[in-house]
With several copies, the nearest count.
Chain A
Amino acid sequence: MATTDIGPPDYKEMLPEVIAKNYGKWKYHEDIKPGVLKHVSETGDEAFTVRCGSPRLVSVDLIRDLCDIADKYCDGHFRFTSRYNPEFITPNKDNIEPIIAAIEKIGLPVGGTGRGISNMIHTQGWIHCHGAATDASGVVKAIMDEMYDYFVGKKTLPQKLRISLACCLNMCGAIHATDLAVVGVHTRVPTIDHEHMTVLCELPTTQASCPTGAIRKHPDPNIKSVTVNDDKCMYCGNCFTVCPAMPIAHAEGDGIAIYVGGKVSNARKAPMFSRLVIPYIPNNPPRWPEVTSVLKNIVEVYASNAHPFERVGEWIERVGWERFFKLTGIPFVEQNIDDFELARDTLRTTTQFKW
């Protein structure tokens, strides 16, 4: 009989000494330099953190390399952040530079703190998921190569800027509230494999899966299958999630949409959803140059227009979306206008707007 339900290891065992000792006693922190934080405790203790980037999809060897660094400088402990970044914590200021050197030696960039761009939250993409409308790791690599200077602190921004990616509308990164969201999208109606429908799928579940009610029973009672009303289908792929007999991926139709201006922190403004600015960019592996260049443009326009400490969404809401489209030169198209369930609240019910 297998052991079950033992749960994860107790975190207390995992804490570095300086952390265990000063747990709950931290007083303030300072940004020492890009990638390096100093936290000061009420006990007078100091903890220095060195953060670095990671591709997230890693070999066990890379993790072992990280362990080596931790063993050498951090009493055998390290952690990851909520955005996949390894962090090395030490009470010893003199360890900072050696840790940085060790990190750089294994090919990782030190950075990701402060007013710049941290690592991208992302998902599986073509590496592992059956539903992916675009790749994840490949696109992320292309984007982060472009944004590198903002990670390592060579360039800074008015405030933190988060980029996230999900390879389909399931949005596994929950990236619906992020400064820049990159989302894989289908744009073709699913095809239907009537032959395997009943073997592979439960018809009522399949019908219920459709947000717009586009899926109906097949009109021919002899065919135990469904039909899709093309006019109502907006290619969300939710039917495919529950029913493999409705494949939706399409080499020419699949691609990427860009959403902008979300945030989750409650600082200054309440959390905001990201908003669709570019409905479709075709997949263009291995470097998705159209995607990287629109993101670069948005980041630069933000950098030169926002007030200090203003997140992307705060800036846009202050100046207005009409101004955002003007400044970035992104064309406004019918897809930008909501027509789903809460659409009405997005319509501009005032004469107040900018030209």
Chain B
Amino acid sequence: MDDKTPMMDELEKGPWPSYVKELKKAAKKSDAAKDLIKVQERSFEEKMTMWKHGGIVGVAGYGGGVIGRYISRPEEFPNVQAFHTLRINHPSGWFYKTDRLRELLDVWEKHGSGLCNFHGSTGDIIFLGTTSEHLQPIHDEITAIGWDLGGSGSDLRTPTGCVGPARCEYACIDTLDFIYNITMEFQNELHRPPFPYKTKIKASGCPNDCVAAIARADFSIIGTWHDNLRIDQDGVKEYLDSGFDVQGLVVNKCPTNALEMVNGKLELAWPEDCVRCMHCINMMSKAIRPGVDKGATILVGAKAPVIHGACLSSVIIPFMKMEPPYTEFKELWLKAMDWWDENGRTRERISELIDRVGMRMFLRAIDVEPVPQMVYRPRANPYVFFDKGV
């Protein structure tokens, strides 16, 4: 086999930064990275993955955090025969101090391919490619400098939150603190897969949902407010004076027509109609802000398609105050996990269980009363259970 990689080389061109360049940088120091380029080239030629199912590999005392991976043609690509990844739990909000980060990178360069994902799509730092022998040393060395593995397998996956109060005026909850707090509280659930399948928690500070919590987490915590949004008329005036089309781009686009321009003032004329969609706030961040009675809506059930099609999370608690130590949330989550644990089948996510046995069973298990906020609309079919009588 020749070592030419014309297709890889092609992907060094073009304006967008090239991952092939990154592979090549790593290849200067790592034989595994060198082989990886060839693997990739071969995949392009054959239009097929070169990887096999992973075996069970890991670190002492943990059931997750490592994805085992082996090449299907070890003769051809000996340096990536085993090429496992480790998932490193990121700090809340993906903020880094460079000295701490450099320490971490050094460990990885020593023990692995030197390639990583910043970040994986769950939110971990991914160390991409090492052999089984290196796994334990890596873990020992990163814990020694204050880092730990993230989730994989049937556990609580690494929770993530948006940048929130750190740099966003819209944040209605402290996403960073909340995520850090529950990550620490549920270390056991994160590291020792106890559940029927994976489960995820993501928190966004407001309904803009910048971590896509509603689409990507079994528990989606989304900041909101219970009183009225606040309008600063001086701010409104500034927008008007600047020629910004408040009527056309804000008032007319409010999904519930809750706003009105009255004598040059922008008013939340129908406060009870505001569904806190953020649109007017997004458009006029200098003039409009969320209310002051802040908390979160808790939604449950998002996941990818396998098996019954993708789900978005749906409202379970319209409003919950979110103050440390987040006891109300934790109790709710633990009740939900208990119920799922007892009733879920293997590889059944919580939304699939809810679908199978009915929302009412879930609500009973977590001691939550049904409210119309949970549904877009009531059922149309007449197939109703009265197992508690009429």
Q: Which residues of B contact A212 (CB under 8 A)?
A: 383
* A201 CB to nearest B CB, Å: 10
A171: interface (CB < 8 Å): yes
Q: Which residue from B51, B83, B96, B147 sits with its C-beta under 8 Å from A77?
A: B96
Q: A130-B51, A251-B46 are in contact. Are A336 and B370 (CB under 8 A)?
A: yes
Q: Which residues of B contact A96 (CB under 8 A)?
A: none
Q: A55-B19, A340-B309, A348-B314 are in contact. Are A26 and B383 (CB under 8 A)?
A: no
Contact digits for A150-185, partner B, Cβ 8 Å, 1 yes 0 no: 010000000000000010011111101100000101
- Within 1-51 of B, Cβ neighbours of A (below 8 Å) are at 7-8, 10-11, 13-23, 25-26, 33, 36, 39-40, 43-51
Would you call A309 and B249 a contact (CB within 8 A)?
yes
Bound: A57/B11 CA distance, A: 13
Would you call B118 and A63 a contact (CB within 8 A)?
yes
Would you call A77 and B97 a contact (CB within 8 A)?
yes
**Nearest B residue (CB) for A230:** B387
Q: Which residues of A contact B52 (CB under 8 A)?
A: 130, 244
Q: A84-B118, A128-B69 are in contact. Are A58 and B378 (CB under 8 A)?
A: no
Would you call A63 and B61 a contact (CB within 8 A)?
no
- Within 1-46 of A, Cβ neighbours of B (below 8 Å) are at 2-11, 13-16, 19, 23-24, 26-29, 39
A225: interface (CB < 8 Å): no
Would you call B91 and A9 a contact (CB within 8 A)?
yes
Would you call B180 and A249 a contact (CB within 8 A)?
no
A-B pairs under 8 A by CB, number? 525
A329: interface (CB < 8 Å): no
List the 8 shortest-distance A-B pairs measured between CB atoms, nearest first: A339-B358, A347-B314, A338-B379, A145-B14, A11-B92, A126-B43, A349-B312, A273-B380
Q: A3-B143, A128-B85 are in contact. Are A282 and B313 (CB under 8 A)?
A: no
Q: Which residue from A230, A285, A321 sits with its C-beta under 8 Å from B7?
A: A285
Would you call A57 and B128 a contact (CB within 8 A)?
yes
Contact digits for A223-253, partner B, Cβ 8 Å, 1 yes 0 no: 0000000110011101001101000011111
**Nearest A residue (CB) for B207:** A266
Q: A24-B171, A171-B304, A235-B386 are in contact. Are A332 and B370 (CB under 8 A)?
A: yes
Q: Which residues of A contact B134 (CB under 8 A)?
A: none
Contact digits for B134-146, partner A, Cβ 8 Å, 1 yes 0 no: 0010011001101
Write 17 A-B pairs (CB below 8 A) sorted by A numbering: A7-B180, A14-B95, A79-B163, A108-B17, A128-B51, A137-B19, A177-B214, A205-B347, A208-B346, A280-B386, A286-B8, A321-B378, A325-B372, A340-B309, A351-B209, A352-B276, A353-B373
* A350 CB to nearest B CB, Å: 7
Most interface-central of B16, B59, B118 (chain A CB within 10 A):
B16
B116: interface (CB < 8 Å): yes
Would you call A344 and B311 a contact (CB within 8 A)?
yes
**Nearest B residue (CB) for A268:** B279
Would you call A170 and B95 a contact (CB within 8 A)?
no
Q: Which residue from B92, B174, B273, B359 sits with its C-beta under 8 Å from A8?
A: B92
- Within 265-317 of A, Cβ neighbours of B (below 8 Å) are at 265-269, 271, 273-277, 279-280, 282-283, 285-287, 308-309, 317
Would you call B312 and A273 a contact (CB within 8 A)?
yes
Q: Which residues of A contact B43 (CB under 8 A)?
A: 126, 135, 285
Q: Which residues of B contact A259 (CB under 8 A)?
A: 380, 382
Q: Which residue from A47, A86, A254 sits with its C-beta under 8 Å from B47?
A: A254
Would you call A8 and B105 a contact (CB within 8 A)?
no
* B326 CB to nearest A CB, Å: 15
**Nearest A residue (CB) for B345:** A208
- Pick the interface stretch among B184-192, B261-269, B336-344: B184-192
* B244 CB to nearest A CB, Å: 11
Q: Which residues of A contact B16 (CB under 8 A)?
A: 53, 55, 109, 141, 144-145, 148, 151
**Nearest B residue (CB) for A141:** B11
Bound: A62/B105 CA distance, A: 11
Bound: A339/B387 CA distance, A: 14
**Nearest A residue (CB) for B313:** A349
* A236 CB to nearest B CB, Å: 6
Would you call B373 and A174 a contact (CB within 8 A)?
no
Bound: A93/B297 CA distance, A: 37
Q: Which residues of A contact B372 (CB under 8 A)?
A: 321-322, 324-325, 332, 336
* B350 CB to nearest A CB, Å: 13
B169: interface (CB < 8 Å): yes
Would you call B146 and A62 a contact (CB within 8 A)?
no
Q: Which residues of B contact A6 (CB under 8 A)?
A: 143, 146-148, 187
* B208 CB to nearest A CB, Å: 5
Q: Which residues of A contact B54 (CB under 8 A)?
A: 130
B176: interface (CB < 8 Å): yes
Q: Which residues of A contact B94 (CB under 8 A)?
A: 79-82
Q: Which residues of A contact B26 (CB under 8 A)?
A: 59-61
Q: Which residue from B7, B109, B139, B346 sits with its C-beta under 8 Å from A60?
A: B109
Would you call B255 and A352 a contact (CB within 8 A)?
yes
Would you call A10 and B21 a contact (CB within 8 A)?
no
Seed contacts A4-B62, A79-B93, A348-B373; 20 additional CB < 8 Å A-B pairs: A3-B140, A8-B90, A60-B116, A70-B96, A80-B119, A82-B210, A109-B17, A128-B83, A130-B54, A172-B121, A177-B212, A209-B307, A266-B207, A322-B373, A332-B371, A346-B378, A349-B312, A351-B297, A352-B255, A353-B315
Q: Which residues of B contact A350 (CB under 8 A)?
A: 214, 315
Q: Which residues of A contact B374 (CB under 8 A)?
A: 337, 347-348
Q: Which residues of A contact B101 (CB under 8 A)?
A: 63, 67
Contact digits for B77-106, partner A, Cβ 8 Å, 1 yes 0 no: 000000101001111111111111110010
Q: A63-B118, A126-B43, A338-B379 are in contact. Are A57 and B22 (CB under 8 A)?
A: yes
B334: interface (CB < 8 Å): no
Would you call B146 and A9 a contact (CB within 8 A)?
yes
Q: Which residues of A contact B119 (CB under 8 A)?
A: 56, 80, 84
**Nearest B residue (CB) for A250:** B48
* A182 CB to nearest B CB, Å: 12
